[in-house]
Chains A and B, each alone.
Chain A
């Protein structure tokens, strides 16, 4: 046997469940999963890695679309999987598609922001796609498979 310097894969998984806190905040009020939401943004908006929190600035507006977007279905806890003595992946994917039903969104949009509505609407990730408009119809964002290589959110070591 020998020892190998590495980031523990379990730690990456525990980051996704807020098990560790190297700072002084936040104080978690519950042991249940947070509520995450998905908001759509206009193609003219500026949503990127520098986005820290959900904002209605640049968000789509239209019939049957509620500011803040839809609540994300979170039926599967994060998973952490080792691929070697030095590498692993922690990953998570919503357990259902994001569905905006019977909406009319006439201004082109191309982005969805995933954010944590339980923790002061803090931003999680930004996903872009080709510009869309919707007229009295449904916009669906189908989630990728929840695997080490395709999950929506992945933290990895190599």
Chain B
């Protein structure tokens, strides 16, 4: 697979691949890194938010 890196397009067989994920109450995140000779040359991340801002409920006045 060809990967876009800081060195240009490279075949992933030439790179060290690392990946991980975060799964908590707020988000599910995955990330992918490619390293070349100890240098980070590509990092992508994909975040899916779980917890949205909370809006106070609307009310009408009583007479």
Contacts and interface: CB of A to CB of B under 8 A. Distances in A.
Interface stretch (A25-33, A53-61, A65-73, A135-143): A135-143
B53 A126 contact: yes
**4 A-B pairs with the lowest CB-CB distances in the bound complex, closest first:** A137-B44, A135-B43, A142-B48, A140-B46
Measured as residues with beta carbon below 8 angstroms from the partner, the interface class of chain A is 20 to 34
Nearest to B4: A136
B52 A151 contact: yes
Contacts of A137: 4, 32, 42-45
Given A104-B6, A133-B43, A144 B48 contact: yes
Contact of A127 (B5, B32, B49): B49
Interface of B: 4-6, 22, 26-27, 29, 31-33, 40-50, 52-53, 55, 57-60, 62
B58 A7 contact: yes
Interface of B is mostly: strand
Contacts of A154: 52, 55
Contact of A155 (B26, B40, B58): B58
B58 A138 contact: no
Contact of A139 (B41, B45, B49): B45
Contacts of B4: 102, 136-137
Contacts of A76: none
